Amino acid sequence: MANMARTPFRLLAASSLLVLVGLAHGQDNEPVDADPPDRAARLSYIQGEVSMQPAGEQDWAPAIVNRPLTTGDRLWTEQGARAEVQVGPAAVRLDGDTGFSFLNVDDDTIQMRMTAGVVNVRVRWLEQDDHIEIDTPNVALSLVRPGNYRVEVDDAGDTTVVKVSEGQAEADGAGLNNVVVHNQEVATFTGAEELSAQYRTLGAPDEFDSWSLERDRRDDRVAGTQTSEYVSPDVTGYEDLHDNGSWSSEPEYGYVWTPSRVAMGWAPYQFGRWVWVSPWGWTWIDDQPWGYAPFHYGRWAYVRQRWCWVPGPRRVRAVYAPALVGWVGSPGVNVGWFPLGPREVYVPARRYSHRYFERVNVTNTLIVNRTYMTDVYNNRGGNLSYRNRMVPGAVTTVSRTAFTSAGRVGDHRVRVDDREMGRWRAAAVPPPIAPARESRYGGSSRGYVRPPPREVVDRPVVVNRRPPSSSEHFTRSIADRVEASQAERSRREVTAAPKTPPNVGYAEAQRAQVGTEQRRPDRPSREALERRERDQQQQEQEQRDRQYRQADFQRRQVQQQQEQRRRQAEIQQRRDGEAQYDRRRQDQMREVQQQRDVQQREYQQRERAQRQQDSERQNAARQMEQQRARVSERPRAEPPRVEQRPQRTQEDRSNRSQRADEARQQKRQDDGRPQKD
């Protein structure tokens, strides 16, 4: 009976195990897309009118700072304009009237296409497998050493000038193979069917060279600073962090970066736009000039009422991500997102290989639990909890139309109350929204964009390595232009397969045979190096955690001692304050009493003076009354008579005057004086 009772249970357990195994097998066999590149270029600077044509599109649109660039993207600078593109270990600067595009951008190859104008390339370092190539209409130039390079292509497209101020380059073209351009040398390559080369020494720099050198000095100033100590050099755009924020140490995350000039209530991924960039899909472009590295690498944390960026491990090669966010929203109405926090797993929009999924996470944040990361990969996110989702202001929401139109998010934000937002379910992958035309171009046209001349931007170029099929129609191999000998053809095999990169550090270019890949037997594979780096990273993190815990314990002890001293100081200060208050109170009461005494004396003086004045007035009044009484008792006397004189008339006055005149006349006559008329 016991065996019979256990039999159904065993059958049920066996069937459940088979179902689980089938599900796991189905997940393992689920088809995956081809992995995207580990790196992307960045349009880091624009001056003047710069237009862009995304890969696969026909029209041109205004270029946007901080837009990621990849294979097939094309740029054109108008006269007087300039632009800068950062890609891996290289910084590419474009002068006016320059046609530029990327033939290939992947983990180890940076292949650039230049049809006209002037380009300055600064290469900071080169790893053994790295290959940087500049292809022009008549020359394929391989940069084999770090340094500064300048390439000029004339308007006709049949002359290429290569200037090497530092480093070394190799040129290939019709009739010329492995031509080395040395340091402080200028090589001019002329012709298309048959190439000729002329050499001279490097001259004085012009205005464009001076501008490029100033941009180099700006990047070199970051070397040796905290930014270069805490951020991997493979993080594109990390140089902009130095002048736009500050570093501090947090016990939980280590060294973090805080932006210094942001608006009140600012949150990551809040001021910018969403564009569609293949092959990654929905990609964030931030409005801030420094807004590239913190939004495509690392994680964001909310610590002490402020947002801070937590970089990934420094000793590993960081993998680019289009936007490190989690998603929320109302289906078909609004789209919302929030920044991922440290140790939270990023899930790409498409299902890539587990190797890429692991690299894009462990190179940007510390993932201790690899089993948890594998579960997230198998379940495509599922029900995950995110710490930043509950931070006030962390979730940014816009309408579906604003999301697909590539408009500025800050101008189209939708306010959602907490109750409705609480009903939204968080997702690890972006919503399945098809991109619009504005999404692919980066927004609606801001005015008429003059397309560049097609005969210039569509010129084919000579290549060393055959690019992907999407860019192959812009190129031509060297063997298509020249009749080489059978021995030369077997050695180079240009038309059959791309040429492997030259070994960095050797003056003579050593290339592998077609279809083969040479590797030093003593050189470990990239997977082994990455595994070693991850193990070292985990050990270093554990050591940092122990140091942080020890430092935190010591910090707490110091804080307790400081708190105790502070309390004692507060008690003593309170006692001193109370005593000082009592003394001040007594002084105030004494002053008040003195003022009252003075006021009392003044009042008494005024009272005495008032009484004296009243007494004097009363005495004066009595005297006046007595005088009136005496006067009233005297007999009244008659008033004196006044004799009235007769009034003289005018006639009397005239008679009197006449008589006076007659008297004077008579007197003169008597004196014997002659009369005057």
Which tens digit of pLDDT belongs to each residue from 602-623? 999 999 999 999 999 999 998 8
Alpha-carbon distance 526 to 528, whole Å?
5
DSSP secondary structure string, 242-283?
TTSEEEEEETTTEEEEEESS--TT--TT-SEEEEEETTTEEE
Q: Determine which of 77-81, 337-341, 362-366 has the lowest per-residue pLDDT on average.
A: 362-366
Q: What is the four-CA torsion angle of 337, 347, 106, 283, rounded to 10 degrees? A: -10
Residue 496 predicted with pLDDT over 50: no
State which H helix or E strand residue 668 sits in.
Answer: helix 650-671
**Picking from 69-83, 150-164, 419-433, 476-490, which range would have the lowest pLDDT averaged per residue?**
476-490
Nearest one of 232, 220, 243 to 124, comparing CA atoms: 220
Asked if residue 525 has pLDDT above 80, the reply is no
The DSSP bridge partners found for residue 505 are none
Residue 342 tokens read as: 């440290």
Strands 109-123 and 61-62: unpaired
Alpha-carbon distance of 357 to 675, in angstroms, equals: 152
Question: Each residue of 543-559: b (16+ CB within 10 Å) or e?
Answer: eeeeebeeeeeeeeeee
pLDDT in tens, 390-439: 999 999 999 999 999 999 998 889 988 878 887 888 999 999 999 999 99
**Do the Cβ atoms of 505 and 167 come closer than 8 Å?**
no
Question: Cα(133)–Cα(140) distance, rounded to whole angstroms?
Answer: 7
Q: What span, in angstroms and rounded, lies between the C-alpha atoms of 239 and 222?
A: 6
Which residue do the tokens 């293949």 mark? 278
**Helix H or strand E segment including 62:** strand 61-62
Distance CA 354, CA 100 (A): 34
pLDDT of 650 higher than 70 = no
Q: CA of 152: how far to CAs of 190, 401, 450, in Å?
A: 12, 44, 23
Give yes or no for a contact between 461 and 85, defined as CB atoms under 8 angstroms apart.
Answer: no
Which whole number is the average pLDDT over 667-677? 63
* Residue 445 in this model has a pLDDT that exceeds 90: no
The owner of tokens 């008339």 is 649
The C-alpha atoms of residue 284 and residue 280 are separated, in whole angstroms, by: 11
Q: How confident is the model at residue 669 (pLDDT cuts 50, 70, 90)?
A: confident
547 with 535: CB under 8 angstroms?
Answer: no
Q: Three-state SS for 421?
A: helix
Task: Say which residue, 15 or 525, is predicted with more confidence.
Answer: 525
The pLDDT > 70 percentage for the chain reads: 80
Position 104 scores a pLDDT of 96
Average pLDDT on 502-527 reads 37
Does pLDDT of 566 surpass 90?
no
Domain covering 43-214 in this structure, CATH number: 2.60.120.1440
Q: How far apart are alpha carbons 330 and 648 in whole angstroms?
A: 125
Cα separations (Å) of 402 from 84, 278, 417?
Answer: 29, 20, 19
Poorest-confidence range of 79-88, 223-232, 505-514, 612-621?
505-514
Comparing CA positions, the residue from 117, 116, 38, 33 lying closest to residue 70 is: 38
Tokens of 97: 């009237």
Two tokens, residue 389: 């989702």
pLDDT digits (tens, 9 = 90+) for 162-211: 999 999 999 999 888 889 999 999 999 999 888 899 999 998 999 999 99
Task: Please report where in the chains the tokens 């939708």 appear, as a residue.
Answer: 414
When pLDDT is cut at 50, 70 and 90, the band that residue 345 belongs to is very high
Contacts of 97 (CB under 8 A, 6+ apart): 77, 78, 79, 116, 117
Residue 358 near residue 373 (C-beta atoms within 8 A)? yes
Is pLDDT above 60 for 280? yes
Q: Residue 42, Cα to own-chain centre: how many angstroms?
A: 14
Query: What are the φ/ψ torsions at residue 40 (nearest 5 degrees)?
Result: -140, 150
Whether residue 234 contacts residue 315, with contact meaning beta carbons closer than 8 Å, is answered with: no
Give CA separation, 519 vs 126, 370, 497, in Å. Answer: 17, 30, 18
Question: 101 is written with which tokens?
Answer: 């595009």
Q: Where are the domains of the chain?
A: 43-214, 247-450, 527-596
The alpha-helical segments, DSSP class H, found in 424-520 are 437-441, 454-457, 486-492
Per-residue buried b or exposed e for 129-140, using 16+ beta carbons within 10 Å of the residue's own CB = bbbbbbbbbbbb
User: Does residue 360 register a pLDDT over 90?
Assistant: yes
Residue 19's pLDDT is 36
CA nearest to 384, candidates 346, 350, 418: 346
Question: Does residue 147 surpass a pLDDT of 80?
Answer: yes
| pLDDT greater than 90 at residue 524 | no
Q: d(Cα 480, Cα 174) in Å, to the nearest integer?
A: 9
One-letter-per-residue 3-state SS of 124-187: CCCCCCCEEEEECCCCEEEECCCEEEEEEECCCCCEEEEEEEECCEEEEECCEEEEEECCCEEE
First to last CA, the chain: 188
Mean pLDDT of the chain: 83
Q: How far is CA 244 from the centre of its chain?
A: 7
Residue 500 clears pLDDT 70, i.e. is over it: no
Mean pLDDT of 119-132: 94
Residue 634 banded pLDDT, cuts 50, 70, 90: low
**DSSP label at 238?**
G
* pTM for the model: 0.69
Q: Which residues pair with 150 in a beta bridge?
A: 120, 163
| Rounded (5°) CA angle 302-284-435 | 140
233 beta partners: none
